[in-house]
C-alpha cells in the first residue's frame, strides 16, 4: 500500500487562483472570503488566533500543515479532538503511517486483517494499540499521579515526543487543549495507566475551560479558525460566556472562519452557524465566513495564501501566561 503523503503548503503559491475567486459565487467566493479573513487575523497585531480541529484531516494529508501553522506562528492556541492529535498525528510521530485505501472494500475482511478504515485511508490496529501503550508509559513515567488539565498533559507529551504537533506546540509555547481527550487512543492509554498504577494521572477538563477562558480575558481580541465543528468549536466559542463566570466581560470573538460539510437544517451544523453563534453572545457576526466544503483540499489553499501574502507574526508563547 502507498503511504499518505502530507501536503507542504510552503512550497506553492495559489495567490493568483485565490484572487481570481473574488467575484465568483458559491464555495469559490466563500473560499476567497475565508482567505481574506484569515489574512486579517494574521495581520491584526492585537488578535490571538485560536485554531480548532475536528475530523480526520491529518489522516488525509494535512498533518504537516498543522505543525507548520504552529511553527510559523500563524496560530496561537489550539483546541482539538483527541483523535486528530493522538490517533493521527502522534501515531505518525511514533513511526507509523496512514495508507491509501478505498471505500469499495469488505470491512469484515479488513477487520480480520487488523486494518482500521478512515473513509478511503487505512491504518493498522496493532500500531494504534502501541500508541495507547505509549501514552500509558508517558503518564506512568512523568505525570507523578497529578491532576492535570489536558493542556498540561499534552505539554508533557510534547516535551518527550519529537516530530509531532504536540512537540511543535511545546517548543513554540502554544497551548493545545483537548477537552474530550478520553475519546481517543489517549483515553485507552490513560485507562490502562489508571488500572495498573496506584497513583494515576487524572485529566481535569474543567481546568481546560478555566485556563482557556483566562487566556481569552488576557488576549481580549480573538479570531477563530475552525476545521469541522463538534467539541473543539463549541469549547472555543464558550469562553466568551465563561468569562462572565470569572467576573469579567470580554469582547465577542472578533473573527471567525469555519470549514464544514455539516448541514444547518437540523439546528446543529457542528454547534451552530457563526451567525447563529452571535445570538448566544459568542461570535461577532461582522467578520465571519462559513465555507461549506471538505477541509482537506481547502486548508492548504487558505494556509498557503496567508503564508505567501502576509508578513511573519511574532510568537505569543501563551503557555507562559497560564497561571501568571
Write the CB contacts of 119 (distance below 8 Å, at least 6 apart in sequence). 56, 103
Which pLDDT belongs to residue 47? 98
Encode pLDDT of 202-236 as tens digits: 999 999 999 999 999 999 999 999 999 999 999 99
3-state secondary structure of 112: helix
Q: Render 208-274 in DSSP notation, one character per residue.
A: HHHHHHHHHHHH-SEEEEEES-HHHHHHHHHHHHHHHHTT---PPBSEEEEEE---STTS-TTT--H
What's the chain's average pLDDT?
95
**Which of 48-62, 164-178, 212-226, 258-272 bottoms out in mean pLDDT, i.e. has the lowest?**
258-272
Residue 1 in any domain: the answer is no
Residue 252 scores a pLDDT above 60: yes
Encode pLDDT of 28-69 as tens digits: 999 999 999 999 999 999 999 999 999 999 999 999 999 999
Write the CB contacts of 100 (distance below 8 Å, at least 6 apart in sequence). 1, 2, 3, 4, 120, 121, 122
Residue 250 in any domain: the answer is yes
Read off the C-alpha cell for 72. Answer: 510559523
Q: How far apart are CA 156 and CA 167, in angstroms?
A: 9
Residue 3 in any domain: the answer is no
Residue 271 scores a pLDDT above 60: no
Residue 264 scores a pLDDT above 90: no
Which pLDDT belongs to residue 235? 95
Encode pLDDT of 234-250 as tens digits: 999 999 999 999 999 99
Residue 4 in any domain: the answer is no
Read off the C-alpha cell for 99. Answer: 495508507
**Which parts of 77-230 are beta strand (E)?**
77-80, 99-100, 115-118, 121-124, 147-148, 176-177, 202-203, 222-227
3-state secondary structure of 182: coil
CATH number at residue 227: 3.40.910.10
- Strands 115-118 and 121-124 turn out to be antiparallel
Encode pLDDT of 65-120 as tens digits: 999 999 999 999 999 999 999 999 999 999 999 999 999 999 999 999 999 999 99
Q: How many domains does the chain have?
A: 1
**Which parts of the chain are beta strand (E)?**
48-53, 77-80, 99-100, 115-118, 121-124, 147-148, 176-177, 202-203, 222-227, 255-260, 288-292
Domain that holds residue 78: 9-95+104-321
Which residues are tagged catalytic?
282
The DSSP bridge partners found for residue 227 are: 53, 259
Amino acid at each position: 500500500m502507498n503511504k499518505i503523503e502530507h501536503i507542504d503548503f510552503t512550497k506553492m503559491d495559489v495567490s493568483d487562483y485565490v484572487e481570481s475567486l473574488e467575484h465568483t459565487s458559491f464555495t469559490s467566493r466563500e473560499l476567497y472570503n475565508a482567505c481574506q479573513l484569515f489574512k486579517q487575523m494574521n495581520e491584526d497585531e492585537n488578535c490571538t488566533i485560536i485554531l480548532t480541529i475536528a475530523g480526520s484531516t491529518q489522516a488525509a494529508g494535512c498533518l504537516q500543515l498543522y505543525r507548520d501553522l504552529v511553527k510559523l506562528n500563524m496560530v496561537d492556541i489550539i483546541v482539538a479532538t483527541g483523535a486528530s492529535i493522538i490517533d493521527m498525528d502522534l501515531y505518525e510521530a511514533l513511526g507509523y503511517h496512514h495508507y491509501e485505501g478505498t471505500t469499495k472494500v469488505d470491512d469484515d475482511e479488513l477487520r480480520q486483517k487488523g486494518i482500521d478504515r478512515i473513509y478511503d485511508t487505512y491504518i493498522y490496529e496493532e500500531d494504534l494499540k502501541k500508541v495507547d501503550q505509549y501514552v500509558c508509559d508517558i503518564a506512568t513515567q512523568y505525570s507523578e499521579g497529578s491532576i492535570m488539565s489536558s493542556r498540561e498533559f499534552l505539554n508533557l507529551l510534547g516535551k518527550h515526543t519529537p516530530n509531532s504537533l504536540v512537540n511543535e506546540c511545546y517548543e513554540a509555547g502554544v497551548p493545545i487543549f483537548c477537552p474530550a481527550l478520553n475519546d481517543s487512543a489517549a483515553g485507552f492509554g490513560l485507562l490502562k495507566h489508571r488500572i495498573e498504577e496506584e497513583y494515576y494521572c487524572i485529566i481535569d477538563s474543567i481546568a481546560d475551560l478555566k485556563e482557556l477562558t483566562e487566556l481569552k480575558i488576557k488576549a481580549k481580541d480573538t479570531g477563530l479558525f475552525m476545521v469541522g465543528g463538534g467539541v473543539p468549536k463549541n469549547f472555543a466559542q464558550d469562553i466568551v460566556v465563561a468569562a462572565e463566570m470569572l467576573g469579567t466581560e470580554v469582547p465577542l470573538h472578533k473573527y471567525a472562519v469555519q470549514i464544514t460539510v455539516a448541514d444547518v437544517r437540523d439546528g446543529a451544523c457542528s454547534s451552530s452557524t457563526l451567525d447563529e453563534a452571535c445570538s448566544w453572545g459568542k461570535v461577532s457576526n461582522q467578520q465571519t465566513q462559513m465555507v461549506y466544503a471538505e477541509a482537506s483540499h481547502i486548508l492548504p489553499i487558505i494556509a498557503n495564501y496567508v503564508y505567501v501574502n502576509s508578513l511573519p507574526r511574532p510568537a505569543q508563547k501563551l503557555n507562559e501566561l497560564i497561571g501568571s
